[in-house]
Amino acid sequence: MENLKDTRKDIRSLTLEHLRDYFVEQGEKAFRGNQIYEWLWKKGAHSFDDMTNLSMSTREFLEEHFVINHIRVDDMQRSSDGTIKNAVKLHDGLTVESVMIPTPTRTTACVSSQVGCSLNCEFCATARLKRMRNLNPDEIYDQVVAIDQQSRSYYNRPLSNVVFMGMGEPLMNYNNVIKSIEKITGNDGLGMSPKRITLSTSGVPKMIKKLADDGPKFNLALSLHSAIDEKRTKIMPFNEQFPLADIKEALKYWYDTTGTRVTYEYVVWKGINDQMEDVDALVKFCKVIPCKVNIIEYNSIDDARFEQADQSVIDMYEHELERNRIVVNIRRSRGKDIDAACGQLANKSSQ
Ligand code: SAH
């Protein structure tokens, strides 16, 4: 018996229509499907036993035919700045991390889209993990729901923003990420405004164009880090396949199609992109479409090649960008002491 493979279907892979049809096929009322759907998505039920308005026999029937592959927050670490990092256990035993970032006025959830990552950014801890698989829409959605609950219990307020800036490359798990956003924004889910969601990509031109065609209402960020091909290829080797010219073309397409500006994420490292030619190249890149630049602090991942540039260089970037009327924000890291900051997610606590 023990060796028999569990062939039960993940009930959350079914849409509301599927569920309604399924119950009609079983000779029940379609309404049963609505009830279960609500338990699964609005009320976050982890087991069929939680579905108290269903009869015992319906619950047993469901248990026989389906599973609920819910995530489990296995471990939580709290930073001195209030940031919380969650080790999220998936139904097959794999782990990803998610982060809750509170500020005085808002709570942001930073979620993962893949287990590991297939890109190989030299400065990112997640890149050292093998990409194991894509997350399902419900596994992404669950991370957001868990952080919404944490925000309610720690700060007495709901989650206000979601960023796809955890582990993985969201545009390489396109369909599932889009489905998760539909749930996060949908009235059958959290009902959040898409304007409060940002998807960050390292720059997959074909997928940026596809996303533009799909008419998203959420924000797009691009991890740029250098606007000079040779330099970008050194620190983000996949830039060889997706050079800046292709990214620029995709960004133009994005702007022509959606009319919304893009945020460029940029870290400045000593001896890598701390020269005037780097600033000039960035300013030029910023003229391709309307944009905003977030200069983010480098979070150390124990690699001697990378070191945060001096403050005077950051000031030079800020000054030149502003002189060219480009919006620039200098971002401080959050959660560094628990390895929860950008680029530090690597399942350290769960290994
Ligand atoms: N793969 C997507 C989503 C990850 S977002 C992307 O690349 O955009 C994580 C952000 O943190 C990216 O902007 C990434 O370039 C940046 N990052 C990675 N390692 C970092 C580090 N050590 N310090 C600061 N930022 C880092």
Least confident of 3-12, 70-79, 295-304: 3-12
Q: Ligand 1 atom closest to Cα of 236?
A: 15
As a whole number, mean pLDDT of residues 315-343 equals 93
Instruction: Give the up-direction half-sphere exposure of residue 125: CA atoms within 13 A in the CB hemisphere.
Output: 20
At residue 4, the pLDDT reads 60
Segment 125-164, tens digit of pLDDT: 999 988 889 999 999 999 999 999 999 999 999 999 999 9
Segment 249-266, tens digit of pLDDT: 999 999 999 999 999 999
The alpha carbon torsion through 288, 291, 295, 301 (nearest 10 deg) reads -80
At residue 350, the pLDDT reads 54
As a whole number, mean pLDDT of residues 201-212 equals 98
Phi, psi of 313 (to 5 degrees): -75, -40
- Give yes or no for a contact between 208 and 187, defined as CB atoms under 8 angstroms apart: no
Task: Output the average pLDDT for the chain.
Answer: 94
For residue 161, report the distance from its CA to the centre of ligand 1, in Å.
18
Tokens of 80: 């001195």
pLDDT-derived band of residue 79, with 50, 70 and 90 as boundaries?
very high
Percent of the chain's residues with pLDDT above 90:
85
Phi, psi of 159 (to 5 degrees): -60, 140
For residue 21, report the distance from its CA to the centre of ligand 1, in Å.
43
Domains 2-67 and 72-338 agree in fold = no
Q: Ligand 1 atom closest to Cα of 344?
A: 22
At residue 349, the pLDDT reads 65
At residue 332, the pLDDT reads 84
As a whole number, mean pLDDT of residues 276-303 equals 96
Per DSSP, which regions of the chain are E strands? 9-10, 66-67, 72-78, 84-89, 95-102, 107-110, 114-115, 133-134, 161-164, 197-201, 219-223, 262-266, 291-296, 327-331
CB burial of residue 7 (10 Å; 0-12, 13-18, 19+):
exposed
Q: What contacts 154, CB < 8 A, 6 or more positions away?
A: 82, 84, 100, 102
Does ligand 1 have an atom closer than 6 angstroms to the CB of 345?
A: no
pTM of the model: 0.93
- CATH architecture under which domain 72-338 falls: Alpha-Beta Barrel (3.20)
* 2-67: CATH topology: DNA polymerase; domain 1 (1.10.150)
Tokens of 160: 């206000």
- Give yes or no for a contact between 87 and 339, defined as CB atoms under 8 angstroms apart: no
At residue 2, the pLDDT reads 46
Closest listed residue to residue 227, CA positions, set 270, 275, 187, 191: 275
Domain ranges of the chain: 2-67, 72-338
DSSP-assigned letter for residue 42: T
Pocket test for ligand 1, best of 173, 174, 199, 223 (most atoms within 8 A of CB): 223
Segment 276-287, tens digit of pLDDT: 999 999 999 999
